[in-house]
């Protein structure tokens, strides 16, 4: 492989926004590791993209499994010695429909944070040495406008009456992690940004979103391919800033 070609890892990539992110990055000439917690589905997704002429490879990665994380990090180090792009896309939405914020179960909170927060941080920590080894790495944390305190407290906001507390709070933490990591890496070529993909037609939304998945992946791809003079520590949708 060309030593200057960018290497990307996209988590939660067997369907929806993650799969489309792989498609668009590979279409831009990036070699993409398509990560999924079910290897059969990951291979099928990678095979479908390769049939489109795209350079994509499946890897087994349940982001909540420390052994999986260590194995993929070791694989990337052995084969490439660096990682240029990390897209933390894996996530879950488990809040019970119709339940008030005070009625959501602790099990829901714990499982949501295990995947959306703790696994994302652990994965980033595991790959940070490889990201630092790249000439100008990009970390993209897939968040949501539902993590915005500004929008949740504004009666004029479209999400003012939409409260999914475990999911919303987990994405607020994703945003906070983004700010803190970006500050830590501010004097390096590594850029760290959070994005809101939009209300996208995926399984998570029951197919009722406003945006096609191709548009839902654009924010991640923009930040993954960010120029050297691009921002870090931001929260955006299609390049437009969102309130924290």
Catalytic site residue 171?
Answer: yes
Answer for the pair 111, 90: CB distance below 8 angstroms, yes or no: no
SS3 track for 81-97: CCCCEEEECCCCCCCCC
Q: Which of 6, 100, 167, 199 is catalytic?
A: 167
Catalytic site residue 167?
Answer: yes
Nearest to 194, CA basis, from 231, 127, 141 = 141
Q: Which of 6, 160, 163, 171 is catalytic?
A: 171
Catalytic residues, by residue number, are: 167, 171
């Amino acid at each position: 492989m060309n030593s200057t070609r960018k290497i990307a890892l996209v988590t939660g990539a067997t369907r929806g926004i993650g799969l489309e992110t792989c498609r668009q990055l590979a279409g831009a000439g990036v070699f993409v590791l398509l990560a999924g917690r079910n290897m059969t589905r990951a291979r099928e997704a990678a095979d479908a993209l390769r049939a489109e002429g795209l350079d994509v490879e499946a890897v087994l990665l349940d982001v909540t499994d420390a052994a999986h994380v260590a194995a993929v990090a070791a694989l990337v180090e052995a084969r490439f010695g660096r990682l240029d792009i990390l897209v933390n896309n894996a996530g879950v939405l488990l809040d019970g429909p119709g339940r008030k914020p005070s009625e959501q179960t602790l099990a829901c909170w714990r499982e949501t944070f295990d995947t959306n927060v703790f696994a994302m941080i652990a994965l980033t920590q595991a790959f940070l040495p490889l990201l630092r080894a790249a000439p100008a790495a990009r970390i993209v944390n897939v968040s949501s406008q539902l993590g915005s305190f500004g929008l949740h407290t504004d009666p004029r906001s479209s999400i003012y009456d939409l409260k999914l507390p475990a999911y919303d709070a987990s994405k607020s933490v994703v945003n906070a992690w983004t700010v803190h990591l970006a500050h830590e890496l501010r004097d390096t070529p590594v850029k760290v940004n959070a994005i809101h993909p939009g209300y996208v037609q995926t399984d998570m939304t029951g197919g009722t979103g406003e945006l096609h998945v191709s548009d839902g992946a654009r924010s991640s791809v923009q930040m993954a391919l960010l120029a050297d003079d691009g921002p870090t520590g931001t929260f955006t949708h299609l390049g437009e800033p969102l309130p924290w």
